[in-house]
Structure 1
Amino acid sequence: MCPPGTMRNSTGATGIHQCEPCTGGHYCEGYGNTEPTGLCDPGYYCPANRSVSSPQPGDLKCPKGHYCLEGTVEPYPCDTGTYQPNEGRTDCIPCQAGFYCESALEPDPQPCPPYHYCPEATMYPIPCPNGTFTYDNETGLASEGECQPCISGAYCRGGYIMDACAGGYFCLSGSYEYTPAGDPPPANPDQDPCTPNTQCAGPCPAGHYCPVGIEDPIACPNHTIRNTTGASQLSDCRPCPAGSHCLQGDPVEYECPVGYYCEEGMPPEECPLYTYRNTPGAASEGDCYPCRAGYWCNDTGMVTFNQNPCPVGHYCERATPYPEPCTGGRMSTETGRRSNEDCPLCTPGYYCPNDTINVHGIPCRPTYECPEGASLEVVCRPGAYCEGVTGVPPDCPGGYYCPLGSSSYTRCFFPKYCPVEVKCLWNVRLDTWRCHILD
């Protein structure tokens, strides 16, 4: 009879040497087997051409780094990224996330090295994607998302920080190019953050310049401008053009405001005294207009000439530094006089002296006459009387006499008489009045 572990399914055997080993994956228990007794148990393997008499052959336990199902002929190697540190197992253990298992025979998973990440069942560490990195001592990353976006001012490839970004470029986050293309990242990421998991890098934003490896774009200073991208140094910010003013970090060129003039590369300056500017864009002090006649531009930065009309009693010529009083014999009750000739003559009955602000004039006193345009009072002429506020005095009436400086007329006494055309004068020698006919 064929011994245990063998079988013979045909007749005519002449010796034990004609007994065949049990079929692979099976065992043949006892003597005289014509067919396998059954499948080998899980955790064991039963090779072909091997005499196996037990379902759990002690010397054929499934080895480390393999797994054996029921009826296994040869042990199955653990799949990529799995391992099995024990014998007699029916499955393999997936390599845990953050580790890699390069060989199924190696019983201990290795921590994922720097610059890489290792999901579950990793055989070989996976380099972090371009635009991300890890630090030299950072191990055990389990997913791509644990690779950090490349630091500001540098570019990263394969998990490594390669180098600083080129001048004229702003690598804010996640850059994988030395000279990244695309839209510029926001100059102020606190107000305008980057989209997560994207390369946030590109040419230096307009209004700024970016030296090699800059972490934050540097704003072009006040009174300079850069209205295109890609500036790499301060000199790329050009002086603000004359007639415009430019703000720090702003790529927009603004017209010089009204009331100001803007020279090249300079801040706005107020138009000086006695001038104004009512339209934007003045490029020099000469572009400020002289104040118009009849007005007084008595402040700097004036935006209109008609803000301060020349005051009453004065006249203002073009660009006058201060209002001039109307000269003697002239006055002004209105604002806006353009010249001394524009001031009307002093009203009859009033006088307008020099070096005085004459608005209405000074009323002429009794005994004085003030014709139109008078700058001084004149003693009332003989043969007339001046009661006060007199321009042209009335003649003394018939029967009365009016000596020089009369404020009223005096009756003639008998035996004298005074017709209208006769004037009476005081004769000092005779101590009496003497009437005479006017020539």
Structure 2
Amino acid sequence: MGHFCPQGSESPKPCPIGTFLPEPGAFSLSHCRSCPPGQYCLTPGASQPSGYCFKGFFCSGGADRPTPRANLSSVICLLKILELSSMKMEAAVWKHNLSNSGRNANWIKVEMVPQADSDRVVNDSAPHLKSPHYTCSTYRGDICPRGFYCPVGSAYPQPCEAGFYCNQSGLEAPAGSCAAGYFCPTGSVDPNVHPCPAGHFCPLETPLPLPCPLGTVKNYLGGSTVEACQPCPPGHYCNQRGIAAPSGQCAAGYYCPAGQSSERPEQHVCTVGHYCEKVGHLA
């Protein structure tokens, strides 16, 4: 196991690092199996993978060490891994993160290559890249980039979950929670880069802004609790959630104290002996 013997061999030849072979009787180098995604094969002649990829790194297949590193020109290989892993949104986040670092690359043609049976890896296996492009033919993984995190045994970077941020490379888990008054979409690298928009409030760890309730309005950025939403001003109504200005004036024949959500609030019909103009105050 871990070796192959071509015709006329004087002695077994070991499978190279980055591969393993769990069965005896092999006669060709092609019988050596590429180390599975999420694992590494450190020694030649291995019958099983050496272990799982270290935290803060990902091993995309064929890794010969627990902490693989790639050069800048091979970034496109990771983009294709993310795309083939049905993570198009996260790949877009990755491209956005890369644009901030000035990295560029051309797309390559890829194809799916079936992986050999092996012990289950910690994360789902990523597709293996097969390409005549030398950079990608030798791509084995890298340190986890900003905007992502990589637990032990990662086959590809996990996008930072919405509501959290990943502000540096080599993270095992998100660095922390999104700040109160801000929201953090998937792949965020900063806890306070997206202020909560008008008409909404954002508690700690907010993935998406929460709309202010009916009968309220909020015309400024920020705000971490529903108390940031102000009652609809007197004489007006607010019949939608998440608005920055009143929906309109109270209807004639009705009056609208602060906090109304209807143009014609039934409990505020103009009373006997009074009149209510369009502005909606009781006179």
What TM-score, normalized by structure 2, do the two folds share?
A: 0.61
CA contact (8 A) 2:197 2:220 kept: yes
1:176/1:199 contact within 8 Å kept: no
Choose from 37, 40, 51 the match for 1:152: 37
Counterpart of 1:195 in structure 2 is 129
Residue number in structure 2 paired with 1:139: 26
| Higher alpha-carbon Rg | 1
Q: Verify: 1:295 aligned to 2:236, yes or no.
A: yes
Read off the aligned partner of 2:180 and give its amino acid letter.
A
User: Which has the larger share of strand?
Assistant: 1
Could you say which residue in structure 2 is the equivalent of 1:239?
177
Q: Identify which of structures 1 and 2 has the higher relative contact order when contacts are C-alpha pairs closer than 8 Å and 6+ apart.
A: 2
Change (3 A) 1:194 1:254: farther
1:402-413 to 2 correspondences below 5 Å: none
Pick closer, same or farther for the CA change 1:274–1:173 going to 2, 3 Å: same
Q: 1:178 aligns with which of 66, 72, 91?
A: 66
Q: Structure 1: which 5+ residue stretches go unaligned?
A: 1-112, 342-439
Q: Is 1:340–2:228 an aligned residue pair?
A: no
Instruction: Please state whether the residue corresponding to 2:237 is helix, strand or coil.
Output: coil
Give the match's secondary structure for 2:141.
strand
Deviation sequence 1:224-251 (CA, Å, 0-9, x none): 2324332224xx341122233335x533
For 1:117 and 1:262, the matched residues in 2 are separated by 64
Q: Does the C-alpha gap of structure 1 residues 140 and 246 become closer, same or farther in structure 2, counting only changes over 3 Å?
A: same
TM-score normalised to structure 1 length: 0.42
Please report how far the alpha carbon of residue 170 of structure 1 lies from its aligned counterpart in structure 2 after TM superposition. 1.2
Q: Is the 8 A contact 1:114 1:138 kept in 2?
A: no
Letter in 2 for 1:134: L
Query: How many angstroms apart in 2 are the aligned matches of 1:263 and 1:194?
Result: 40
Alignment pair present for 1:331 and 2:275 = yes
Query: How far did 1:214 drift?
Result: 3.9
Is 2:217 the counterpart of 1:276?
Answer: yes
- Whether 1:316 aligns to 2:260 is no
Q: Distance in 2 between matches of 1:205 and 1:131?
A: 23
After the TM superposition, list the runs of 4 or more consecutive aligned residues in structure 1 that deviate by more than 6 angstroms. none
Secondary structure of the 1:170 match is: strand
Q: Does 1:115 align with 2:59?
A: no
Q: 1:344-367: per-residue Cα shift (whole Å, max 9, x none)?
A: xxxxxxxxxxxxxxxxxxxxxxxx
| 1:250 alignment counterpart | 187
Give structure 2 stretches of 5+ with no counterpart: 92-126, 131-136
Amino acid at match of 1:307: S
Q: Deviations over 1:14-62 (max 9, x none)?
A: xxxxxxxxxxxxxxxxxxxxxxxxxxxxxxxxxxxxxxxxxxxxxxxxx
What letter corresponds to residue 200 of structure 2 in structure 1? Y
RMSD: 3.6
SS in 2 for 1:264: coil
Which residue matches 2:96? Answer: none
> Larger % of helix: which?
2
Contact in 2 for aligned 1:194/1:200 (Cα 8 Å): no
2:205 aligned with 1:265, yes or no? yes
